[in-house]
Amino acid sequence: LPPPPALGDVHLWFFEAAILQPCFGSLHEDLSASEREESDRYVTPTERRRFSLYRGAFRRVLSWYEGCPTENLEFSRGRHGKPSHRVVPSENGIGQSDEAISGITFNVTHSHEYSVLAIGREAELGVDVERIRLPRDLRSLTRELERNPKWLNRGIPIWVAA
């Protein structure tokens, strides 16, 4: 794993549910009791699975950056839903006493089968990932691009390639 980010650097971690799936059991075990309850509130099994996979992976990565066991991470949300964390010492004294010591900050996003975790140091972070759906009828899209070639200079190829 890379060293913690320097001031001004941001590390991006990309996760795909299908790749994390073989680790489901251990990632789900890493969740706190309240996170397991939150997972259970999702309506579909797919949503519950994704929550457990992504939150467990986030816990593992953040615990590595913080140098503490996964169970020492405590998550919360700000007024506008922005996530934050702190490291709480365990009964045997392992773990840092406060997030201010490391200055590690993060933000997360997910869309269906993909999730991104951004990690920085002493910085407000924002990250977003969106699922792009290609039209079912690619011929109509091709005809539209042929009729409007100037669209090709506005990022459409990136959209099509995604």
Query: What's the average pLDDT block by block, 10 residues per block, for the chain (162 residues)?
Result: 85 93 95 93 95 95 91 87 83 51 85 91 85 70 73 46 31
Q: What's the pLDDT score for residue 144?
A: 73
Neighbours of 47 (CB within 10 A): 13
pTM of this structure = 0.73
Answer whether 38's CB lies under 8 Å from 28's CB. Answer: no
How far is it, in rounded angstroms, from Cα 139 to Cα 129?
Answer: 27
Q: What's the pLDDT score for residue 135?
A: 64
Q: What's the pLDDT score for residue 78?
A: 82
Q: For the chain, what's the residue count? A: 162
Buried b (16+ CB within 10 A) or exposed e, 116-133: bbbbbbebebebebeeee
